Amino acid sequence: MKHLAIAMLTLWIPHTPGGWGALAAARGMAARASSIGGLPALARRLSPAPLTIGRLHYDGGGDWYANPSSLPNLLRAIRAGTGLVVSERERVVQLTESDLWDVPYLYMTGHGNVVFSDREIAALRRYLLQGGFLHADDNYGMDEAFRREIQRVLPDHPLVEVPLDHPVYHIVYELAAGLPKVHEHDGKPAQGFGVFLDGRLAVYYSYQSDLGDGWEDPTVHGDPAEIREAALQMGVNLFAYAVSRP
């Protein structure tokens, strides 16, 4: 694990639709603390409120609520791996509600269709352009719908494969091989796609991986411990990246 990765984790504070804030003083203090290994305690001291994950409630018929034990387990892994103050459970959010702006990491999953209204398209576009982070996790069956809808959100910014040297694979845990493969699906390799806005990874799409299944309680799918650990490490990296970008 890299202590330096936590150096910026105190930057996130709840925001309003008017824009994103940053704690400049906290940035400097955290950077100094990174050199002496004091980051977990500093993160607890400076974080103004527990951070959390937003689970996206979308329309279209897909099961946006899939894998109910996954996000509480991921939040527990984030707390253990970074020392960051996070909530016990995720928050369910809709794109047209104001609490969208309280979550630094927006997560969507499911097995079926996704449909965004015009208002939701505009809200998600604004969220992403103003610094928000979306993680779309195909639970097998969401691929076609997600690709269609994200094209509507950001028509001038295509999904591209995220290179293996990107911080999402190294920021806290070293995942040199990239996105872990949790379940077989079509037997294709796991791929991490992204949408970049001015060089910033704003959307991460985990395809042919099923991270959410890997985050679930061990008894749900019976996955090997090392697979679950790799999936959780990937999730910690994604969350750390989402809350630590300047």
Strands 53-56 and 105-110: parallel
Note down pLDDT in tens along the chain; length 246 residues: 554 334 444 455 444 454 443 333 333 333 333 333 444 444 444 456 899 999 999 999 999 999 999 999 999 999 999 999 999 999 999 999 999 999 999 999 999 999 999 999 999 999 999 999 999 999 888 999 999 999 999 999 999 999 999 999 999 999 999 999 998 777 789 999 999 999 999 999 999 998 999 999 999 888 899 999 999 999 999 999 999 975
Handedness of CA 32, 38, 43, 45 (dihedral sign): negative
Q: HEC states along 107-148?
A: EEEECCCCECCHHHHHHHHHHHHCCCCEEEEECCCCHHHHHH
Q: Is 35 contained in some domain?
A: no
| CA gap 228, 211 in Å, rounded | 9
E strand or H helix that includes residue 71? helix 70-82
Q: Does an H or E element contain 244, and which?
A: helix 225-244
Number of domains, the chain: 1
Q: How far apart are CA 91 and CA 178, in angstroms?
A: 28
Predicted local distance difference test score (pLDDT) of residue 94 = 98
Does 198 reside within a domain? yes
- Residue 103 has phi, psi (to 5 degrees) of -115, 130
Exposed, middle or buried by CB within 10 Å (0-12, 13-18, 19+), for 29?
middle
- Report in angstroms the alpha-carbon separations of 45 from 9, 12, 87, 188: 12, 13, 15, 44
Q: Quick check: pTM over 0.75?
A: yes
* pLDDT the model gives residue 172: 97
Backbone CA torsion sign across 35, 37, 38, 44 = positive
pLDDT of residue 29: 33
Q: Is 45 a domain residue?
A: no
Give me the CATH number covering residue 113: 3.40.50.12140
Residue 144 CA to its chain's centroid (Å): 20
Q: Is residue 8 in a domain?
A: no
pLDDT at 48: 63
The one-letter amino acid code at 88 reads E
> Do the domain assignments include residue 25?
no
Q: Which domain holds residue 190?
A: 50-244
Those residues whose C-beta lies under 8 Å from the C-beta of residue 16, and which sit 6 or more positions away, are 98, 101
Residue 207 lies in a domain: yes
In-domain check, residue 30: no
Classify residue 121 by burial, with Cβ atoms within 10 Å: 0-12, 13-18, 19+.
middle
Establish if 146 belongs to a structural domain: yes
